[in-house]
Amino acid sequence: MSSQMLVVNGIAFVAIFSALMVVFHRNPMMSVVFLIVNLICIALFFLLLQAQFLFAIQIIIYAGAIMVLFVFVVMLLNLRQEEKLHPTWKIQRILAFLGGPLLVGALWTALWHRSPSSEGFPGSFVSGFGSTEDMGRLLFSDYLFQFEAASVLLVVAMIGAVILARRKES
Amino acid sequence: MEPSTLSLAIESLVKVVFVVGLVMGGVTYMTWVERRVAGIVQDRLGPNRVGPAGLLQPIADGIKFLFKEDVVPPHVYKPLYILAPALSFVPSLVGTAVIPFGDSLHLFGRDIALRVADLNVGILFIFAMSAMGVYGIALAGWSSNNKYSLMGGLRSSAQLISYELAMGLSVVGVLMAAGSLRLNEIVAAQGEFRWNLWYQPLGALVFLVAAFAETNRAPFDLPECESELVAGYHTEYSSMKFAMFMMAEYANMITASALMVTLFFGGWQVPGLARLSLPPLAVSLVQVAAFLLKTGFFLFLYVWVRWTLPRFRFDQLMGLGWKALLPLAVLNIFWTSWAILSGWL
């Protein structure tokens, strides 16, 4: 095994282990911490693919901003009591048994029909993959409509949050 | 001549040792500077007994921290309680890796770039590391199982999210002016005279204030506000674990000061140095010295402000972040865009 594969497999192992721990750990705060570890692992994969911009953004947005809110909520709600809870809702279990194979199937087809250019390792990608310039160009040309639509959606959500949080004047 | 792998490895190792040594030395001696300056500000002497002018005081403190009993209270959640100081300290140290402390040094027949890692998203990397540093404080607050610690942790995460926005937006102007996320190119784009400070004073001001809040320093040290929260998130910590939080705070100050210099104060540039036609080695060394001096000034500013200004109230802190700094940062972006479009920059 080359040293490169050793690094990839090491990160993959940590990623899968932490993903499992998110689900299986009894303490909600530990689940959040493992989710952070998992997101950092994904960021490291971006780094291995030479996509330094995506690496930094993945850490800032997902592992940073979003997960801080998770930590915030767990801290405020103090979910300790939930440790004893075992979800016994029937409907959830049935849906899980239906959804699981569906997800595996989707992943399997995605892996099976991968484009030949993504085989192998760094260097085989088009140069500039995931770079700042490349991302910017894509967002303001090919995906302009989707980008602007997402912005509008975010503005609407922000206004909604402000209205919900506003103090009632009586 | 193509540099061999071995010489590259040695070069990197020397740089890593140099930067880590510099930061750790800075952290150690900032505690001394802080206490002496506090003494001067409050018209007393400060620690002056251990060694000449008290210069050995940090070493005595370090030994004290190492040999103190490490109390782990029975009510804490142990895995995270023990992990939290490391989570706070490591990102603060890693962030310094991308700071360019000089241009390049011509030594042994080749050019050595004076920074540990030359990421093409250097500035984003520092933001990423500062975002990771929040977890140390937040998890310390939560795992201590103590209401004061919890309040400290909550305040810290709320404060850091709020000021990260203002800080990020205040940097956008600099990025537009330089056209790069690479810190060394940002410095190079400023040249010896055209520092970003002169063109974007508003951005510099917003960044400076946000940096104080990001590093949890007075007047924004609400997470450890002793008059309300005992000691905030590190109430339950003692011995070396407590020292690690302190070290993280000072290391963050050093990163923030160095970043301030890099983004707005021309980094390692010295006005008029090119005219002197010094030998290249001397130029490199003067530039490194200039960078360290500028960074030192901002570190002093941190201490000066801490012992001069009273602490904010938490709602005032949030109001300042969202209602004053954020709009000002956006204004700075508009101003910079206009300046670039009209050919000023």
**Taking CB atoms and an 8 Å limit, are B157 and A72 in contact across chains?**
yes
Tell me whether residue A109 is in a domain: no
**Cβ-contact A101, A95 below 8 angstroms:** no
Picking from B131, B141, B142, the nearest residue to A64 by CB comes out as: B131
Give the total number of structural domains in chain A.
Answer: 2
pLDDT tens track, chain A, 170 positions: 577 788 888 888 999 999 988 888 878 888 888 999 999 999 888 888 778 888 888 888 888 888 888 888 887 776 555 555 565 667 777 888 889 899 999 888 887 776 555 555 444 455 666 677 888 888 888 888 999 999 999 999 999 988 888 877 65
Q: Which of B139, B155, B180, B323 to mutate to test the interface with A (most CBs of A within 10 A)?
A: B139
Q: Are residues A75 and A151 in the same domain?
A: no
Is A116 part of any domain?
Answer: no
Structure tokens at B29: 């001696």
Q: Which residues contact B30 (CB under 8 A, 6 or more apart)?
A: B250, B253, B254, B299, B303
**Chain A hits for B125, Cβ within 8 Å:** 56
CA distance B141 to chain A (A): 9
Q: Is the ipTM of this complex over 0.85?
A: no
Q: Which ranges of chain A does DSSP label H, i.e. alpha helix?
A: 3-24, 28-48, 52-57, 67-77, 90-112, 132-140, 144-165
> The whole model's pTM is what?
0.83
The whole-angstrom separation of Cα B328 and Cα B206 is: 7
Name which of A29, A59, A64 is nearest B80 (Cβ-Cβ): A29
Residues A76 and A136 in one domain: no
Q: What are the residue ranges spanned by the domains of chain B?
A: 73-341
User: Which residues lie closer than 8 Å to B129 by C-beta, 6 or more apart?
Assistant: B91, B92, B94, B95
| A61, part of any domain | yes
Residue B186 touches chain A, beta carbons under 8 Å: no
**A113 within a domain of the structure (yes/no):** no
* In-domain check, residue A104: no
- Structural domain boundaries, residue A64: 1-84
Q: Are residues A12 and A78 in the same domain?
A: yes
Q: B158 and chain A: CB distance < 8 Å anywhere? A: yes
Q: Give tens-digit pLDDT for B285-307.
A: 888 888 888 899 999 998 888 88
Return the minimum-mean-pLDDT range out of A118-122, A142-146, B62-66, B171-175: A118-122
Asked if residue A135 and residue A78 are part of one domain, the reply reads no
Nearest CA in chain B to A68: B157
- Give the best residue of A75, A83, A129, A158 to mutate against chain B (max B CB count within 10 A): A75
**B106 neighbors B284 (Cβ within 8 angstroms):** yes
Residue in B120, B128, B150 closest to A75 by CB: B150
CATH number at residue A1: 1.20.120.1200
| Residues A66 and A132 grouped into a single domain | no
A132 and A79: one domain? Answer: no
Instruction: State pLDDT tens for residues B228-256.
Output: 777 777 777 877 888 888 888 899 899 99
In terms of domains, do A62 and A1 share one?
yes
